[in-house]
Each structure stands twice: as structure tokens, then as C-alpha cells.
Structure 1
């Protein structure tokens, strides 16, 4: 099994999964599940601030079939999810964060001999920062301008940042539990490498989660108290 996603064989195998019937079938199931759970999305502000449960299926799917197929499943999930469970006017650029999040999960989790809790947490944290906070903030600003929506962007964006940072520890732990629990059944089915092993939730992992939670709270508090200064100096996206 390749230990790095920088090697040629890694990407050859990832592309090959797009022609593997078993992987395509699994991708179809994971995509269908990720779309189905969008029926239970919590729309705080339609199409701009949403709590979704699709991330768990995206992560599990990416763990199984890799980054290339994950890009396609992310695109299909976002498009069909928006059509079947619309939360506002359809806006194509929102497809980018969902595709990229699936891709990131795969880079962290696919084709690894050892899946640790810290690795899963790192994957979720990276997705939260890059996709959910940075990219979605830019796209939401664009969305509001394009559709002439009068919601105060600064408030929406503040809520987005707070939501992603505060919920991260819980989301990360749930994702780790799901991935770890799936390893043995997936090995028996032969859809992941037999050498793949998971790390149980131990004291070190609990300490890591606790520290990340404190960091999350600290960032939220810091943002709250620094917001007047940022707004006064007209920082971008505020």
C-alpha cells in the first residue's frame, strides 16, 4: 500500500477505481446516502448557513474509493441534493466546496496502512477551514450579490465561523468513530486493503480532542471580541 499521495502509483490506482465496478457501486450508494440525509439538513439561513450530515458519508466513501472518484461523488451529491432538497436559488459555485471536501477526505484517509483518530480529526479540521469557512465565505458573498439578498453578510459569516469551529470536535469524533468502526467490515468485504488498521480512541486522542475544542472556543471568543475592530477597519468579508 502506498504511504504517500505524491507517488505515481497512488494516482494510477485512484483513477483506476473510476472503472472498478465495485467501487462505482459503493460510490453510488454513498452518494445516494449523502443526498438522502440532506433531507435532514438544518437550515439556519437558507443556502448560506446550513448544518449538514452528508460529511460522514463523504468521508467514508472517500476512505474507500479515493480522491478521483470522490470528486465526482461530491459533484453529483451537491447537484442532486440542491435539486431534490432546495434551500434557495441554485448557485453552481457551491459545488466546489463539496467536491473539494470529498477530495481532502480521500487525501487524508485513502490508501493508508494506519488510520488514526488524529488523522481523521485533521481531515475534518482541514475541510472546515478550507471548504466551510474560507471557500463558502467567498461563495456566499458572491451568492448574496448575485441574487441581491439583503442578509447582513457579516452576521452570516460570523455564524458560519462559529458553527464550524464549535461543532468541529463533535463532528471529528463522530467521523472517527464511523471510520474506525467501518474498517473491519470493509476489510472483510475486500474493498479496502487488508493491511489497513485503525487506532482505538485512547487517552492521547481524548486529550487531542479536548485541546482542539478549547482552541475552537478560543477562536470563537477571539473573533467575537475582535469583530468591532475588524469591521471598523473594513476587513474583507466582514
Structure 2
């Protein structure tokens, strides 16, 4: 059985994407105590395309942990690290070594939106802050954010996954990873 080798270029690329995730989450985002709008899905999707579900999940969890340790915006809660791992794994599952079609991007984004943004995150916030999840006033901004942001995320992911010629540039560095 041939072992997979991870070279310095691969580690560097993954580190760069993790750093981008930290920057997008901690500095280039709109955030309140209960709602965050960020572009973290861009490096996370690219990581999913390049590295697959396991490594993207690990990279996303590392980005969440490093971001929390270096730039905390509240108390650490492991549920959000689990969210990061699951969303990274979903992107990796749907995008790795597969053609990015509208249906595939739509499905992955819908799954992350429903499972992470509309189910797990409210659950963790409810546990952390004692939020009454039956209060409709709490749900309105969250639902509106996801309705508005969903098509933006689908179009941006599809465009970046298909139109940007990064795959040709990275074939050498990822040849040992496959």
C-alpha cells in the first residue's frame, strides 16, 4: 500500500487557506452576538475542492480554534468547532474530485445552511446564552440573512470552482497529495 505524502507546498497551501478563513471570520465579517455574515465559505470551499472531506474538516476546525485563541470575540464553545468541521467535511464531500455543477453547489450550500446555520448554531447559542428558541423575533434576522446570502454563496462558489484556473496552477503541488 502506497502512503500518501504531504509535501511542503501542500501544507503551505492548506495553511494559507486556514489563515484566510481566520481573517474572513474574525476581521472581514459583520457580527453580532447571535449572527455572523462572512465570506469564510470561499476558502473553505476551495479547501474542499482541493483536499477532500477529512482534511477540509480538520482545516476548518483548526481555523476555528486558532481564530478563537488569537482573536476571541466571546467564550469558547466546542460546538462551533464541531460546526466548522462538519461544514468543511460537507464541502469536501460534495466538491473533492467532482465536477462542480449548479446542483452539487446548491445541495452542499443548502445542507450547510440548514444543518449548521439554522439547526446547530441556534442550538449552541441557546445552550450558551439561554436564548428562547421559540421566540420568532430571534429567528427573523437569521432566516433573512440565510435567504439573502444563500444565492450569493451558490453563485460565488460555482464561479470560483469553475472559472478560476487555480486547478492548473496547483496540479504540481497536489500531485503527491492524491
On whether the aligned pair clears a TM of 0.5, the verdict is: yes
- C-alpha RMSD of the superposition: 2.3
Greater C-alpha Rg: 1
Pick from 47, 53, 57: which aligns with 1:61? Answer: 47
- Maintained 8 Å contact 2:48/2:56: yes
Residue pairs, 1:57-96, within 5 angstroms: 57-96=43-82
* CA distance in structure 2 between the aligned counterparts of 1:163 and 1:103, rounded to whole angstroms: 23
Query: Aligned pair 1:131/2:116, yes or no?
Result: yes
* CA distance in structure 1 between the aligned counterparts of 2:174 and 2:70, rounded to whole angstroms: 31
Where does residue 20 of structure 2 map in the other structure?
33
- Maintained 8 Å contact 2:91/2:108: yes
CA 167–73 in structure 1, closer or farther in 2 if over 3 Å, else same: same
Pick from 150, 153, 170: which aligns with 1:189? Answer: 170
Where does residue 171 of structure 1 map in the other structure?
153
Where does residue 42 of structure 1 map in the other structure?
30
Query: Aligned pair 1:117/2:102, yes or no?
Result: yes
Q: CA deviation at 1:192?
A: 6.4
Q: CA deviation at 1:159?
A: 2.0
Q: CA deviation at 1:116?
A: 1.3
Q: CA deviation at 1:152?
A: 5.6
Is the partner of 2:73 in helix, strand or coil?
Answer: coil
Q: CA deviation at 1:95?
A: 0.8
Aligned length: 170
**What whole-Å deviation, never above 9, does each CA across 1:208-230 have from its counterpart, x for those lacking one?**
xxxxxxxxxxxxxxxxxxxxxxx
- Maintained 8 Å contact 1:31/1:77: yes
* CA distance in structure 1 between the aligned counterparts of 2:161 and 2:44, rounded to whole angstroms: 11
* CA distance in structure 1 between the aligned counterparts of 2:174 and 2:100, rounded to whole angstroms: 12
Moved over 4 A (4+): none
Structure 2: segments with no counterpart, 5+ residues: none
- Maintained 8 Å contact 1:71/1:103: yes
Where does residue 208 of structure 1 map in the other structure?
none
TM-score (norm 2): 0.84
* CA distance in structure 2 between the aligned counterparts of 1:72 and 1:129, rounded to whole angstroms: 21
TM-score (norm 1): 0.65
